[in-house]
Structure 1
Amino acid sequence: METSPHRPHADRQTVPRLKVENLAVARGGRPVLSGVNFLLSGGEALVVTGRNGVGKSTLLRAIAGLLPHSGGTVALEGAGEDQELAQATHYLAHADGMKAALTVRENLDFWGNYLGRAEDRRSRPVAEALAAVGLSHALDAPFGALSAGQKRRAALARLLVAFRPLWLLDEPLTALDRGSREKFAAAMRAHCALGGLIVAATHEPLGLEEAGELALGAPQ
């Protein structure tokens, strides 16, 4: 299966490219994915769709390097000479990756320092990142005291405090209300405008009208 995403407006100074060629993944000796091909350039987004169990999460994990490939290649070009794919990628799945006993600020300060590159001005301050996801009021609240939707928004803010070109998002809209979805759609568009790339597995519209689509399990 092969696709070529549409390109929204992007910052042409940064042009990383994610190239997936003939990717195959097997789990427990059973083929899950085969013949997956796409090319994603800076400023582009790709939405991965398909029924439950077709391999959407498997594809994201394989691109992130969390699952071995039984065939094919994944390469991220142009993200920086000293950056491996894992160092240039944010992978957001169902786990929030936050410590319940720490405040939202403390959690995001940790991730910004741990994942970020000090010289990259595209990383946002914690307060600005939280404003982008509509969570400014929870800056000093313990993460464990937040609602499910607030926890998801805090996890999404983690993408903003440490700029990395490639976002791999597994059902990013889970637990978000309409207003929060609109704010995150704006954050995704801003990421693309900076030359970033997004691959998102979802059952729901992300608000990225110009994104390409990769339909797993669709008839060829």
Structure 2
Amino acid sequence: MRDLPRHNARLAAENLTVTRGGVPILQGVSFTLNPGEVLILRGPNGSGKTTLLRTLAGLQPPLAGEVQAEPETITYGAHADGLKATLSVEENLRFWASVHGQSDITNAVEGFNLAGLVERPSANLSAGQKRRLGLARLLVTGRPIWLLDEPTVSLDVPSVQLFADAVRAHVAQGGAALIATHIDLGLEAASFDIGPYKADPATASDPAHSDGFDEAFL
């Protein structure tokens, strides 16, 4: 069994204004994600879900407001798989485990059904296998707060179930997850719709804050 998270898995947003390309797109965003909870981030494409997640992950500063979370508690999984193509499945997982000061990859391999692929270079994986490997890295970070942007892209139905099972196990052990997704994952979760927080670009602007890139994993 995986160890319980080492830190408090509480994340709070306080009156956040977030920008894309220097233009405010969401303002007044406030919510709390507590240990043991899953929160589904809702909103149409282009509404600012990715920008909000990146701001919460510390990849760009908010224009206003505050993100409250203990240091080294957050891991962020974005659209890209972010794999090292020349490394095998096992080597990719061991690399990310070492980055986060971890060593055991057993739960990651078993949790995402990768046992038969551990020696295969990631370049030779299918799109769905690459996505499973990318998601398996969540289990080697040791971090209790997961921020996930459309994590089920390229996954078939059984693999979506593997992901949902991993989230359930994570929160059962005191972790927390904020997930931007358009599909029903079958999780016991509240929803947070960012629609009411759409910003009026005329109210503020700061061209120094830009989100022109999208990290695969943090």
CA distance in 2 between partners of 1:147 and 1:73 (Å): 40
Match of 2:61 in 1: 68
State the SS of the aligned residue for 1:154. Answer: helix
CA distance in 1 between partners of 2:93 and 2:6 (Å): 28
Q: Post-superposition shift, 1:217?
A: 1.1
Match of 1:4 in 2: none
1:194-215, CA deviations, whole angstroms, 9 ceiling, x for partnerless residues? 111101111111221x211111
Counting aligned pairs with the same residue, the percent is 49
Of stretches 150-159 and 29-38 in structure 1, the one that deviates more from structure 2 is 29-38
CA distance in 2 between partners of 1:134 and 1:12 (Å): 23
State the SS of the aligned residue for 2:69. Answer: strand
Q: Which runs of 5+ in 1 are unaligned?
A: 1-10, 78-83, 119-124
State the SS of the aligned residue for 1:69. Answer: coil
Match of 1:132 in 2: 111
Q: Post-superposition shift, 1:56?
A: 0.4
Match of 1:180 in 2: 159
Match of 2:205 in 1: none
Q: Post-superposition shift, 1:136?
A: 1.4
Q: Post-superposition shift, 1:174?
A: 0.4
Q: Which runs of 5+ in 2 are unaligned?
A: 199-218
For normalisation by structure 1, the TM-score amounts to: 0.83
**Structure 1 residues 136, 104: closer, same or farther in 2, change over 3 A?**
same
CA distance in 1 between partners of 2:7 and 2:60 (Å): 28
Q: Post-superposition shift, 1:143?
A: 0.6
Q: Relative contact order: is structure 1 or structure 2 higher (C-alpha 8 Å, sep ≥ 6)?
A: 2
- The counterpart of 1:31, out of the listed 24, 28, 43, is 24
Aligned ranges 1:13-92 → 2 under 5 Å:
15-77=8-70, 84=71, 87-92=72-77
State the SS of the aligned residue for 1:25. Answer: strand
- The counterpart of 2:101, out of the listed 92, 116, 126, is 116
CA distance in 2 between partners of 1:12 and 1:76 (Å): 14
For normalisation by structure 2, the TM-score amounts to: 0.84
Report if the CA contact (8 A) 1:14-1:195 is conserved: no
Work out whether 1:101 is the aligned partner of 2:86: yes
Report if the CA contact (8 A) 1:19-1:38 is conserved: yes
Q: Give the letter for the 2:143 counterpart.
A: R
**Structure 1 residues 13, 142: closer, same or farther in 2, change over 3 A?**
closer
- Structure 1 moving runs of 4+ over 3 Å: 11-15
Matched residue pairs, number? 195
Q: Post-superposition shift, 1:30?
A: 1.8
CA distance in 2 between partners of 1:147 and 1:58 (Å): 28
**Structure 1 residues 99, 74: closer, same or farther in 2, change over 3 A?**
same
Work out whether 1:164 is the aligned partner of 2:143: yes
- The counterpart of 2:173, out of the listed 169, 174, 194, is 194
Q: Post-superposition shift, 1:117?
A: 4.7
Q: Post-superposition shift, 1:218?
A: 4.3
Report if the CA contact (8 A) 1:20-1:37 is conserved: yes
- The counterpart of 1:211, out of the listed 189, 195, 200, is 189
